[in-house]
Amino acid sequence: MEKALLFFDADNPYWNKDLLNLAGEDAGALKRLFKAGLVERTPLGNYVLTRKGRSVLLDYAAEYGVPLNLPDEYVDENKAVWTTKFQILFDRSFAGRWSLKEYRHNVCMSFYPGLKGKEIWEFSAEGKIRWLYYDNPMVRALLKKYPESGLRARDKNFPDLREVMAWLGEQEFPEGSLYVDLLFLSRYDFPHYASFPPVTNDIWGFLNADRMFCFRSPETTNENLDDFVDLVANVRLFLLYYSHVLLPGYIHFDTENQENLNWIVWVAETDEKAQSILRLLKPLAPSLVCGQLPLHLKILSLENLQNLGNFYETIYDLMFHESLNVASPDGL
């Protein structure tokens, strides 16, 4: 069986020659898979599994005990191809020494309450961001019901998820959703932390991991400042919910009281585009991250990652040297 057939999975349903070349694989494998009837070509020029290809993969997984998640048949092709390209370029740019890399593509994460736009924030007279959601009646009710967060929450049991959902239903809170093009979890010194059992409430596996919420940047920047701030607002609300309801006590610090980082990363196509995003957002830097620590806002460029001459040991080295810093709690 062609090795390339194993590249087709739930996170990477579409492949083309350019993607295989970026991954350092034999791009000619696609032609052989096509001739064997295992993949078919889409109108956009990418390759996707046929029914026969899906069947062969399932048989292989059953025979050899290989864990396998078949691609969803209703995936946005452009989004999937972009995310696969970004992961390839991003993953090869650092070794991740002493850590475990985890990637999740095109995820949609729920939170409560799902506030919108000016329920969350507004511009002050000075042109800075004023966060309004702390005074929202629904947020106040949530924090009254689940007040504990941070280290002080560790002395109490985690909220019961069934009771949480029942209470949210009684309150008739709207559900919010955070769409993330690529969610990256970095588990530093993971053999040590493997002894800590998972937490049932921890739906996305954030315990003992640094989290990077990666977003494809909009095509233009000059007229959509609100879109950038709305995205930051959604992440802030999601982390507020996660830190009080799902994983209180372990969002900002791990089980050994080491800091866990939360990154928002915009991924631009070019270096020029990355600089334009930085110019747009930098004046708002302090107000973007205030009150939700630690929250770091960065920008990466696909152009830079593709032309990268130096490959780094850790994710921290990569982000320090190759990302543009919009805002960080320490101001660096």
- Could you please report the per-residue DSSP string of 172-186? TPPPEEEEEEEEEEE
**Residue ranges of domains in the chain, CATH in brackets:** 3-75 (1.10.10.10), 88-327 (no CATH)
pLDDT of residue 3: 80
Phi, psi of 62 (to 5 degrees): -70, -40
Closest by CA position to 240, among listed 176, 329, 172, 163: 176
Q: Are 153 and 266 in contact (CB under 8 A)?
A: no
Closest by CA position to 7, among listed 49, 55, 45: 49
- State how far the alpha carbon of 309 is from the alpha carbons of 83, 163, 237, 322, in Å: 22, 52, 38, 11
Phi, psi of 299 (to 5 degrees): -135, 135
Q: Reduce the DSSP state of residue 210 to 3 states and report it.
A: strand
Q: Which residues contact 248 (CB under 8 A, 6 or more apart)?
A: 146, 148, 149, 150, 153, 156, 158, 159
Q: Say what the pTM is.
A: 0.93
pLDDT of residue 190: 67
What DSSP character marks residue 23? T
pLDDT of residue 294: 74
Please, which residues bridge with residue 298 across strands?
265, 325
Any alpha helices (H) in the chain, and if so which ranges?
17-22, 29-35, 51-64, 77-92, 137-145, 161-171, 190-193, 225-241, 271-281, 285-289, 302-306, 315-322
pLDDT in tens, the chain (332 residues): 578 888 999 999 999 999 999 999 998 999 999 999 999 999 999 999 999 999 998 888 888 888 888 888 778 999 999 999 999 999 999 998 888 999 999 999 999 999 988 899 999 988 889 999 999 999 999 999 999 888 788 888 899 999 999 999 999 999 999 999 999 999 987 677 777 778 889 999 999 999 999 999 987 666 689 999 999 999 999 999 999 999 998 898 888 888 889 999 999 999 999 999 999 999 999 899 887 667 999 999 999 999 998 899 999 999 999 999 999 887 64
